[in-house]
């Protein structure tokens, strides 16, 4: 997957911030311990001096070097042990003076054994997706803003919309809470103005805050962008970003100007993400009859076979708000 320069800059800045805060945390703890246990200062200094001792042996005979390194290592291990014991005796946890890295795998350097660490890749994906979302301008919301009282309580077609939406709401909340990179794909359907985009934005918001890479945009805008890039009118890798994000939310299926190109893009996205085992949320105002008539068999079989359907019910919330002067 290709990442933008801006995403690289932001990811590197975040790694640097993580290193700085690990360093700051270490310094605070060291100062605190030093005030109570002054012996700690000379012990931690002796550990730091190891680097200089190692530098001094550069240029010595090979046979000699091995022995000196072993000596330094033993001395180091001893010092570390003494520090731990001293800390314990003075009532501190024995790892109190170890660095607390955000990612212990790479010690917040972003690289492990010469390869990019998973934490760095995660940040790159997150910032690349964020950049794409900025172009799509969908407002993000919080689950706490959801209003069940916008949905009628009275039963129609054998079901109370309010009861139905209570279930939909808790399903969406649970989905965001328990999200994993292999969570199921969801298909939101129901008439316009029932809160599909709203609840999608709550899921997106919660996952972005947890650090996942989430692409969230209207199909119309995303497909227009992919088309412009495909025909060389603008630069970018929107399709690549969409295929690789942790979660993709394609809002308002059916609003796109449908061509054989948009159909093939839709199929490619859905199919590729299914093959990669990654979740996608698609919402539509179209009824099952309408979307079955509109899209080809390949797309429909993917949507019906690999997505969990979630039906939204009620009255258009904009009308409810107008009626009640809200
Ligand atoms: Zn890492």
Tens of pLDDT along 194-239? 999 999 999 998 998 888 889 999 999 999 999 999 999 988 889 9
Contact call for residues 74 and 10 (beta carbons, < 8 A): no
Distance 121 CA to ligand 1 centre (A): 9
Q: Which residues contact 273 (CB under 8 A, 6 or more apart)?
A: 185, 243, 248, 279, 280
**pLDDT reading at 129 higher than 90:** no
CA nearest neighbour of 276 among 308, 313, 245, 238 = 245
Tens of pLDDT along 72-126? 888 888 988 999 999 999 999 999 988 899 999 999 999 999 899 999 999 998 8
Sorted by where each begins, the domain ranges of the chain are 5-119, 137-323
Tens of pLDDT along 261-312? 999 999 999 999 999 999 999 999 999 999 999 999 999 999 999 999 999 9
Rounded CA separation 314/192 (Å): 10
Distance 257 CA to ligand 1 centre (A): 42
Distance 209 CA to ligand 1 centre (A): 19
Into which CATH architecture does domain 137-323 fall?
Answer: 3-Layer(aba) Sandwich (3.40)
pLDDT of residue 71: 83
Distance 130 CA to ligand 1 centre (A): 20
Distance 205 CA to ligand 1 centre (A): 24
Contact call for residues 261 and 232 (beta carbons, < 8 A): no
CA nearest neighbour of 121 among 274, 245, 269 = 245
Rounded CA separation 326/322 (Å): 6
pLDDT of residue 295: 96
Distance 100 CA to ligand 1 centre (A): 13
**pLDDT reading at 29 higher than 90:** yes
Q: Encoding tokens for residue 21?
A: 């805060």
Rounded CA separation 58/233 (Å): 57
Q: Encoding tokens for residue 188?
A: 């939101």
Contact call for residues 125 and 246 (beta carbons, < 8 A): yes
Rounded CA separation 156/102 (Å): 52
Distance 116 CA to ligand 1 centre (A): 8
Distance 119 CA to ligand 1 centre (A): 4
């Amino acid at each position: 997957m290709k990442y933008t320069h801006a995403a690289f800059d932001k990811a590197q800045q975040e790694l640097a911030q993580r290193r700085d805060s690990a360093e700051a945390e270490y310094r605070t703890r060291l100062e605190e311990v030093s005030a109570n246990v002054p012996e700690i200062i000379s012990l931690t200094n002796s550990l730091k001096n190891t680097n200089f001792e190692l530098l001094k042996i550069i240029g010595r005979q090979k046979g000699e070097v091995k022995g000196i390194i072993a000596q330094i290592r033993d001395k180091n291990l001893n010092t570390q042990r003494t520090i731990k014991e001293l800390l314990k005796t003075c009532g501190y946890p024995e790892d109190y003076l170890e660095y607390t890295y955000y990612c212990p795998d790479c010690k917040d350097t972003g690289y492990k054994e010469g390869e990019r660490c998973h934490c760095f890749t995660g940040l790159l994906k997150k910032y690349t997706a964020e950049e794409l979302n900025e172009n799509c301008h969908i407002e993000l919301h919080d689950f706490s803003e959801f209003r069940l009282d916008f949905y009628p309580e009275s039963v129609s077609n054998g079901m109370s919309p309010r009861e139905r939406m209570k279930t939909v709401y808790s399903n969406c909340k649970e989905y965001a809470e328990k999200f994993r990179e292999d969570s199921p794909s969801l298909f939101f359907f129901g008439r316009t103005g029932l809160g599909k985009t709203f609840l999608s934005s709550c899921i997106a918001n919660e996952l972005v805050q947890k650090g996942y890479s989430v692409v969230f945009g209207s199909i119309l805008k995303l497909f227009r962008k992919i088309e412009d890039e495909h025909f060389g009118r603008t630069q970018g890798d929107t399709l690549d970003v969409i295929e690789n994000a942790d979660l993709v939310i394609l809002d308002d299926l059916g609003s796109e100007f449908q061509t054989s190109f948009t159909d093939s893009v839709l199929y490619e996205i859905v199919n590729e993400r299914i093959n990669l085992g990654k979740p996608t949320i698609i919402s539509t105002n179209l009824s099952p009859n309408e979307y079955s008539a509109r899209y080809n068999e390949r797309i429909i079989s993917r949507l019906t076979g690999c997505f969990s359907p979630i039906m939204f019910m009620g009255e258009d919330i904009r009308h409810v708000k107008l009626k009640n002067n809200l």
